[in-house]
Structure 1
Amino acid sequence: MSPRRYSMGSRNAAIAKTRQRILDATIKLHTQHGIFGTTWKDIATEADVAIGTVYKHFPTLDDLVPACGELLMERLRPPSPEAVTEIIGGATDPKERLRRVANELFAFYHRGGRHLESDLRERELPAMREWEEYLRNMVAGFVREALAERPGDDVVQAISFLFDFPTFKAMRIRGMTVDLAAEMATAMALCWLKGKGRTSTD
């Protein structure tokens, strides 16, 4: 290996390491203080780099927030829409199908914790709007598959809110365990479906 190739490799590794430190610091601070409650100076101090270094890697929030989101998703492992068939498995009973979906989604919400929370201002950021749309579509897709009867969009949306992160968070605030929250969401979904004559499951 030539000295130049070795030097370039070391330099690239150092750049990647610095970028990682900045992202780790940003995620920590955003979780503690929110996106708009965190300054580039805060990030630089936490990452032990110069402010200019932060700006060099991430000139704007539109650069920084998506990069943090990608790293978080690698760590939090959201359920893949393509995995819904495997998650439901061979279950044919609507109650069991919905319970498996609730268990998978609520386990993800539990892993994500405060990382999945955002305020009204943060939701105006393009990356946050894109993320929330992805979550809504993922939940709706899971619910649609769990119902297994080609439900209309009105039914899917009515059930999906019971499996959304804000519903999970409200249950947890009221002292429910993750397992109990999943059971409760499933029971409420079935109750609504029975009221509409959609299922005869007890």
Structure 2
Amino acid sequence: MPRRYSMEKRAPATAAVRQQLIDATLAELVAVGGGAITLQGVADRADLALRTLYNHFPNRDALLSAAFVHHTAQTRAAVEAMSLPDAEPEEQLRHAVRAYYSRYAVMGPRLTVLLSLRGFPDLDEQVRAIRAWRRGVLGQIIARARQQGVLAVPESTAVALAFTMTSHASWQILASELGGAGPESSEVAGQALSAALFHPHQPPGTPD
């Protein structure tokens, strides 16, 4: 019984240390500009011994991959939390844009630096995976719009445009143009996609 109690307490503690190291990794990435990150620097920033870091992550690749996996999980949760399965496709797409842009704003420069890293196979694979998932989410919304007859452009074109407008790069550009990372960026992107992808709404009783 004492051993079981010890194990039950150890799991949350281990998770807390991992999260502490991931947070320190993201902060260190911004501080040193990405590629120059070292395990010792992360351990120092987390106020933990280097051997403690090695107990959780065997090398820098594993640490960076874990940081992006954490971001991926948080992003998926944010998108799924804002999903409206019974809403019309146009509204679903606006909610998807809002979820992605909100997540980009929360991550800020940490995500910018994380996405700029090159030469880390595990990290590259994680980037491809989260982009494929985003394309899938958007593809489902667009397919539903086509089925309902409200899509004004070819499905492949709609998916490509929605994918581009929900990217981190598009968020950066809009945030810069609009003078900040507030909700205005997602509203502008959502309005632009609605205008580009869907048939105009007609008032009731208006002839076709």
- When normalised by structure 2's length, the TM-score is 0.70
List aligned pairs for 1:116-195, cutoff 5 A: 116-118=111-113, 122-147=117-142, 148-149=145-146, 152-174=155-177, 175=179, 178-193=182-197
Q: Give the deviation of 1:57 after TM superposition.
A: 3.5
Cα 1:20/1:168, change in 2 over 3 Å:
closer
CA contact (8 A) 1:190 1:201 kept: no
Structure 1 residue runs without a partner (length 5+): none
CA distance in 1, matches of 2:102, 2:115: 25
Q: Give the deviation of 1:169 after TM superposition.
A: 1.3
Structure 2 residue runs without a partner (length 5+): 148-153, 203-208
1:92 maps to a residue whose letter is E
Q: Give the deviation of 1:161 after TM superposition.
A: 0.2
1:180 maps to a residue whose letter is E
Once the two structures are superposed, residues 77-134 of structure 1 have per-residue CA deviations (whole angstroms, 9 ceiling, x without a partner) of 31349938x723433363x333222122212222222232236761432232223223
2:35 maps to which residue?
36
Q: Give the deviation of 1:11 after TM superposition.
A: 10
Percent identity, aligned pairs only, is 22
Secondary structure of the residue aligned to 2:136 is helix
2:108 maps to which residue?
113
CA distance in 1, matches of 2:126, 2:43: 26
1:104 maps to which residue?
99
List aligned pairs for 1:75-90, cutoff 5 A: 77-80=74-77, 83=80, 87-90=83-86
Cα 1:78/1:157, change in 2 over 3 Å:
same
CA distance in 2, matches of 1:90, 1:7: 44
Once the two structures are superposed, residues 23-70 of structure 1 have per-residue CA deviations (whole angstroms, 9 ceiling, x without a partner) of 342232123324422222212322334434434542322221222334
1:199 maps to a residue whose letter is H
Cα 1:88/1:33, change in 2 over 3 Å:
same
2:199 maps to a residue whose letter is T
CA RMSD, 1 decimal: 3.6
Q: Give the deviation of 1:172 after TM superposition.
A: 1.0
CA distance in 2, matches of 1:189, 1:45: 45
CA distance in 2, matches of 1:108, 1:61: 25
Secondary structure of the residue aligned to 2:44 is helix
2:146 maps to a residue whose letter is E
CA contact (8 A) 1:79 1:108 kept: no
- When normalised by structure 1's length, the TM-score is 0.71
CA contact (8 A) 2:27 2:110 kept: no
Cα 1:8/1:120, change in 2 over 3 Å:
closer
